[in-house]
Chain A
Amino acid sequence: MREQLSFRVFRWLVLVPLGLFAVVPLYVMLTSALKPLRDVQGDFQWWPKNLTLRPFIDMWSTVPLAQYFVNSLIVTTAATVCSVVIAVFAAYAVSRYRFRGRGTFAGVILSTQMFPGVLFLLPLFIIFVNIDNALGFTFLYQTRVGLVVTYLTFTLPFSVWMLASYFDGIPRDLDECARVDGTSALGALFRIILPTARPGVIAVAVYSFMTAWGEILFASQLTNSDSRTLAVGLQSYATENNVYWNQVMAAALVVSVPIVAGFLLLQRYLVAGLTAGAVK
Chain B
Amino acid sequence: MAVTLPGPHTPTSVAGTTSPDPTPSRRRRFTWARSTPYLLIAPAIAFELLVHVIPMLVGIFMSLIQLTQFYVTNWSAAPFTGIGNYRVALDFSGPLGQQLARSFGITLGFTVLVVGISFGFGTSASLVLQRVVRGRGPLRTLFLIPYALPAYAGIITWKFMLQRDNGLLNQLLVDDLHLAHGRPFWLIGGNAFVSLVVVSVWQQWPFAFLMTMAGMQVIPEDVYQAAAIDGASTWQQVRHITLRMMRPVNAVLVLLLFLWTFREFNTPYVLFGPTPPESADLLTVHIYASSFITWNFGLGSAMSVLLMLFLIVVAGLWALWNRRVNRDA
Contacts and interface: CB of A to CB of B under 8 A. Distances in A.
Interface string B265-288: 110011000000000000010011
B45 to A, nearest CB: 7
Contacts of A11: 128, 132
Interface in A94-137: 94-99, 102-103, 105-106, 108-120, 122-124, 126-127
B18 A120 contact: no
Given A119-B308, A255-B153, A160 B8 contact: no
B223 interface: no
Contact of A114 (B127, B139, B284, B312): B312
Interface string A35-50: 0000011111010000
B125 interface: yes
A42 B228 CA distance: 57
Contacts of B312: 114
B177 interface: no
B143 interface: yes
Interface string B291-316: 11000010011001101100110010
A78 interface: no
A176 B16 CA distance: 11
B160 A19 contact: no
Nearest to A29: B157
Contact of A97 (B37, B43, B206, B234): B37
A262 B153 CA distance: 16
Interface residues of B, number: 112
Interface in B110-162: 121, 124-125, 127-129, 131-132, 139, 141-146, 148-154, 156-161
Given A105-B41, A114-B315, A116-B311, A127 B58 contact: yes
B9 A168 contact: yes
A41 B166 contact: yes
Chain B residues touching A, majority SS: helix
B264 to A, nearest CB: 10
B102 interface: no
Contacts of A157: 48
Contact of A115 (B37, B38, B308): B308
Contacts of B41: 89-90, 93-94, 105
A65 interface: no
B40 A90 contact: yes
Contacts of B131: 1, 3
Given A15-B139, A120-B55, A127-B58, A176 B17 contact: yes
Contacts of A149: 47, 50-51
A165 interface: yes
A268 to B, nearest CB: 10
How extensive is the interface on chain A, given as a class? 35 or more
A82 to B, nearest CB: 8
A123 B157 contact: no
A141 interface: no
Contact of B51 (A98, A120, A176): A120
B152 A216 contact: yes
Interface string A14-29: 1100110111111011
Nearest to B217: A279
A269 interface: no
Contact of B233 (A4, A179, A248, A252): A4
Given A18-B143, A97-B13, A122 B228 contact: no
B136 to A, nearest CB: 10
Contacts of B168: 24, 28, 44
A98 B11 CA distance: 7
A23 B142 contact: yes
Interface of B: 1, 3-18, 36-38, 40-41, 43-45, 47-48, 50-56, 58-59, 62, 75, 121, 124-125, 127-129, 131-132, 139, 141-146, 148-154, 156-161, 163, 166-168, 170-171, 175, 202, 206, 210-211, 214-215, 218, 224-225, 228, 233-235, 238, 249, 252-253, 256, 259, 263, 265-266, 269-270, 284, 287-288, 291-292, 297, 300-301, 304-305, 307-308, 311-312, 315
29 contacts: A1-B131, A7-B235, A14-B124, A25-B161, A26-B157, A40-B166, A93-B40, A94-B5, A95-B8, A99-B37, A106-B5, A110-B1, A114-B259, A115-B56, A116-B304, A116-B308, A117-B263, A118-B288, A127-B58, A179-B17, A217-B288, A234-B152, A245-B166, A255-B153, A264-B141, A275-B215, A278-B3, A278-B253, A279-B249
